[in-house]
Structure 1
Amino acid sequence: MIGSDKDISTLNSLIKTTIDSVNGYQESAEAVESERFKSMFRELAQDRQQVVPKLQAEVSRMGGNPEDDGSTAAAMHRGWVDLKSAITGRDDKAIINEVERGEDYIKGKFEDALNSGDLSPECRNTVQQCYESVRRGHDRVSELKHAMEGTH
């Protein structure tokens, strides 16, 4: 099946952002001090990694060339930009704040795609399935951040 350019473009954009979030989780897992947070970030990276091939398969099914890399360092999405500085300080709370910003960003991108009304039903179904994983990850990080706000 040949998909619309809009479907393929949207899916490829979501692939890039999803790969960026996998990389962000992996960097965060290496940077945090808490073993609990390390484990959680590794688990979330693994969950998010499972989203990528689903999106890529849909692009291929539509006759497009799926992205296989995140965005370039210069254009890395806004949500993960400050992660490096938080990691440098090795402050778990700062890292979690930046991870949550990244999660807000990716969740928003998936919601924008779903709410656009521009996607074919098949493409929308794939995005919706992947969004469920994104939403769960977002909610876990958000709960963690809010639980930590009472500390310090």
Structure 2
Amino acid sequence: MIKNDDLVDSLNDLVRINNDRIQGFEKAIEDNEDPQLDDIFRHMVIQSQEFRSQLADHIVRIDGTGVSDATTTDVSSKLHRAWIDIKSALSGKDRDTVLSSVEFGENAAVEAYEEAIEKDPIPAYIKEDLQHQLAQLKESLNRVTSLRQ
């Protein structure tokens, strides 16, 4: 069984990923000129806020220490680097560029969740929630991908 400290670290990483995702979509909304995309990105911000809240609840339940600041991001995370690329690409405000960058970031989020789920056995109730969040992330990724086509 995975140790509590390891589980807390893993959940905190997912909190940071959701913080990165929120910041990236807020930047996309700010820099984007397509109202349809703005609505989609607002939905994704709300989605990540809900994910982050659920993850924080799990951390507290297992007596872990959560990320000290709800807006903290991990500079070394793959997703953070992806969102930095997105923020840079958004300066052009081109719809295809925005969607391509968002797709890249969403792929990084999906990968991070898959890695977290594949770790040593974690409590079933947490794994179930992570799988549910992952399914929603994949739906978001598919939506972005379909908008590009």
TM over 0.5: yes
Question: What code does the residue aligned with 2:83 have?
Answer: W
After TM superposition, the score normalised by the length of structure 1 is 0.85
Matched, 1:137 2:140: yes
Q: 1:97 aligns with which of 84, 96, 100?
A: 100
Matched, 1:70 2:85: no
Question: What code does the residue aligned with 2:73 have?
Answer: S
Secondary structure at the counterpart of residue 64 of structure 2:
coil
In 1, the alpha carbon distance for the partners of 2:129 and 2:64 equals 15
In 2, the alpha carbon distance for the partners of 1:121 and 1:6 equals 16
Which residue does the alignment assign to 2:127? 124
Question: What code does the residue aligned with 1:17 have?
Answer: I
In 1, the alpha carbon distance for the partners of 2:128 and 2:54 equals 11
CA deviation map 1:62-84 (0-9, x unaligned): 00122222315x54622212122
Deviation at 1:118, TM superposition (A): 4.1
Which residue does the alignment assign to 2:32? 32
Deviation at 1:99, TM superposition (A): 0.7
Q: 1:84 aligns with which of 82, 87, 95?
A: 87
* Structure 1 ranges of 4+ moved more than 6 A: none
Q: Which moved more, 1:126-135 or 1:61-70?
A: 126-135
Secondary structure at the counterpart of residue 66 of structure 1:
coil
In 2, the alpha carbon distance for the partners of 1:83 and 1:14 equals 19
Question: What code does the residue aligned with 2:98 have?
Answer: I
Percent identity, aligned pairs only? 23
CA deviation map 1:14-56 (0-9, x unaligned): 0000111011111111211111111111112112211110000
After TM superposition, the score normalised by the length of structure 2 is 0.86
CA deviation map 1:94-146 (0-9, x unaligned): 1111111100000000011112234232332231222222222122112222x
Q: Which moved more, 1:105-114 or 1:131-140?
A: 131-140
Tell me if structure 2 keeps the 8 A contact 1:56–1:66: yes
Which residue does the alignment assign to 1:110? 113
Paired residues, number: 143
Q: Could you tell me which runs of 5 or more consecutive residues in structure 1 were left unpaired when the two chains were aligned.
A: 148-152
